[in-house]
Structure 1
Amino acid sequence: MANLWSAPKAPAVSPSTAALLSVLFTFIYVVPFYLSPTTRPSPQLTRDAPSCIRARVRAVTFSSTLSLALAVYVLHQYGSVPPREILTLLGFWPISLLDTARTMLLVAILFAGPLFEYGLAEGGWQGWVRGRGVYEVLSSWMGYRNYIVGPVSEELIWRALIIPLHMLAHFSGKQIIFLTPLYFGIAHVHHLYEFRLTHPHTPLLMVVLRTLFQFTYTSLFGFFAAFVFLRTGNILSIILAHTFCNWLSLPRLWGRVGVEAGAPIGPPGAGKRGDDDEDQPQYESRGVAWTVAYYVLLVAGAIGFYWQLFPLTESNHALPIVLVEE
């Protein structure tokens, strides 16, 4: 690998070619969703319908295979990269389980607050230890999409395929980290159209703001995923990190622990929901100390994530590109 990348030479593909291929991969991934009535959402068919998910899984499998074949061809034909080193650039080999564990520890530090809320404040830790509900979730079409197909296919396209092409075009490490995730964010903008179709009464401004918010947090995750991919050369790490983030979703940034956003807050233990009072408001069931602890852990997790970002992503399998100038 060192012989291929250490000596300065002209890029095997131009920066514009790398960008065009990235846009092409994005279109190949998204456009099939709208080519068939079985994958195209409508006021009568949402993207979460099992029939729609099944059809989209088939479309994603085909588009990901096509993009993989095209990327491998470009790397081999224009980059003169041997097959074994193509596997390395794509993050397929070698897979370090230690690097994966360290990456997941880093993500867990960042999500210390939500883990505390869902695991301790809401008592979910026992279910996590026993693996209760895992089979049920993963065997459902939504779970299969959100925790398996989505993370695997998206990290394959926007990290494993697009990043090596930008390396081939001699983009710098910082450019790769902050540029390539924008394709990932743009790929989610089509949800604006889908949401507008299935929620026609929602004000357009709210739909646009919702889409911009989604673009922002998908891009932020993309920055992190691109960084970890370059630092570890390990596609498994970011697939699992993606699944983990999909599972926990965005952390709570306001409100008291135990209260769903928008629900009224009352005295601890009051107004617990029963089987016969589904229409009654849901009130806080934990003391204020739980909320204080949550926000302390949320801030501490962010600080710990910052401190451990480089130490926990240090790897002997890093891709051959400079991220920090000596």
Structure 2
Amino acid sequence: MPPPVKGWRELASHFYAKHIKGVPKPPPVSPATAAFLSVLFTVIYVAPFYLSAATRPSPQLTRDAPSSIRARIRAVTFSCIVSVLLTVYVLYQFGNVSPADIFLLLGLWPVSLMDTARTMLLVVILFAGPLFENGIVDGELKGWIKGRGLYESLSSWMGYRNYVVGPVSEELIWRSLIIPLHVLARFSGKRIIFLTPLYFGIAHLHHLYEFRLTNPRTPLLLAVLRSLFQFTYTSLFGFFAAFVFLRTGNVYSTILVHSFCNWMGLPRFWGRVGVEPGEPIGPVGVRQGSEDKDRLQGKGIMWTVAYYAILVAGAIGFYWQLFPLTESTHGLPVVLIEE
């Protein structure tokens, strides 16, 4: 048993050590506030799509219509401005964060081109298989070098939305704004990585409603499964993007990674390379030209073997280089690995 406390000085010292010094200070931003603002930002981002006839999907107006895309871009811009102002106010007023540190927490400064290049290298390793298929097998490498694919992608409203506005606005909301709030709320690094992307995934569930409007003949079960699949892979990407943001403190890296992943799409996990998924391999009809014949017959089997070998090697390389290539002196103040 500890010795009895004697005298008023010892009693005061014992009381201070037990009830004052040993009690952790509350976080600058409460966990409830961080969660509330995360939900609020998600609602602010999605709700305007359904408040105006110009943005609201219908059987006559799909989300891919140019007029709808332009209206949604205006709505998203307004949502981002409101969310940024709210976040800066909370960080400054309640978190007592200086203006300079706000830029650091939001991942806006400093700009580290080396961190961005290393992160992009990591993602290129992961997509080594699809890059091999599209660039070498399908012969698109020359077009990439000339920048023709980039121009064609960004010259349409769909491309501008998918590769510019979408990545910038979504990474700003779900990484640059939401993650710092959770950092100041003293969430652990692992909880931030696996919690905050769920808001990002939930924000895409409204596509189920839009898909049902434009594809009414699709069975409800298939539409739900499609939406759940989309929620899964957007959340998986969110886990990685949150990890990168915490490790590098650089929102520009996550924006570029997001745009790159949108451009690449999901890798092929089955079938032969050189053939569109779902298309038959074999003899072609009389009316099909030589280009169709080459496309349907595909490449030799060794091209397919090489693709899947590179795909697996890329996944292993990604795992090995996940921490080394995201090492940075600008990371946010959280602990990801307990020593």
Fold agreement, TM-score > 0.5: yes
Equivalence for 2:127: 111
Q: Which amino acid aligns with 2:122?
A: L
Q: Does 1:220 align with 2:236?
A: yes
Letter of the aligned partner of 2:312 in structure 1?
V
Q: Does 1:316 align with 2:329?
A: yes
Q: Which runs of 4+ in 1 moved over 6 A?
A: 270-273, 275-278
- What are the superposed Cα offsets for residues 69-108 of structure 1, whole Å, 9 maximum, x if unpaired? 0001000011000001000000000010000000000000
Alignment of 1:51-200 (within 5 A): 51-200=67-216
Instruction: State the secondary structure of the residue aligned to 1:283.
Output: helix
2:303 corresponding residue in structure 1: 290
Per the alignment, residue 13 of structure 2 pairs with none
Separation in structure 2 between the aligned mates of residue 79 and residue 140 of structure 1, nearest angstrom: 42
Q: 1:285 to 1:17 in 2, by over 3 A?
A: same
The match for 2:318 among 305, 308, 315 is: 305
Cα distance between partner residues in 1 of 2:188 and 2:164:
31
Output the amino acid matched with 1:192: L
The offset of 1:9, in angstroms, is 3.0
Listed one character per residue, the Cα deviations across residues 150-184 of structure 1 (whole Å, up to 9, x for unaligned) are 00000000000000000111100000000000000
CA distance in 2, matches of 1:277, 1:11: 63
2:178, 2:196 within 8 Å by CA — same for their partners in 1? yes
State how far apart, in whole Å, the 1-side matches of 2:167 and 2:286 are. 36
Partner residue, 2:18? none
Please list the CA deviations of residues 164-221 of structure 1 after superposition, one character each: whole Å capped at 9, or x if unmatched. Answer: 0001111000000000000000000000000000000000000000000000000000
Partner secondary structure for residue 155 of structure 1: helix
Conserved? CA contact 1:114–1:298, under 8 Å: yes
Sort the Cα spacing of 1:285 and 1:272 in 2 relative to 1 into closer, same or farther, 3 A. farther
Specify which of 257, 262, 275 is matched with residue 273 of structure 2: 257
State the number of aligned residues: 316
Query: For residue 210 of structure 1, what is the aligned residue in structure 2?
Result: 226
SS at match of 1:87: helix
Alpha-carbon distance in 1 for matches of 2:252, 2:62: 30
Q: Which of 209, 219, 232 is residue 248 of structure 2 equivalent to?
A: 232
- Answer yes or no: is the 8 Å Cα contact 2:281–2:298 preserved in 1: no
CA shift, 1:266, in A, is: 2.0
Q: Work out the CA distance in 2 between the residues paired with 1:202 and 1:44.
A: 17
Instruction: Indicate the RMSD between aligned Cα atoms, in angstroms.
Output: 1.8
The code of the aligned residue for 1:160 comes to S
Structure 1 unpaired stretches of 5+ = 1-7
Amino acid of the structure 2 residue aligned with 1:285: G
Are residue 20 (structure 1) and residue 10 (structure 2) matched? no
TM-score by length of 1: 0.94
One-letter amino acid of the counterpart of residue 172, structure 1: S
C-alpha offsets along residues 119-178 of structure 1, whole Å, 9 cap, x if unaligned? 000011100011013223212100100000000000000000000000111100000000
Contact persistence 1:256–1:284 (CA under 8 A): no
Matches of 1:133 and 1:166 in 2, distance apart?
Answer: 38
Give the SS at the match of 1:306: helix
| Distance (whole Å) between structure 2 residues aligned to residue 235 and residue 272 of structure 1 | 53
Query: What does 1:39-50 align with in structure 2 at a 5 Å threshold?
Result: 39-50=55-66
Q: Which residue of 2 aligns with 1:37?
A: 53
CA shift in 2, pair 1:292/1:33, >3 Å: same
Structure of greater Rg: 2
Cα separation, 2, equivalents of 1:277 and 1:232? 46
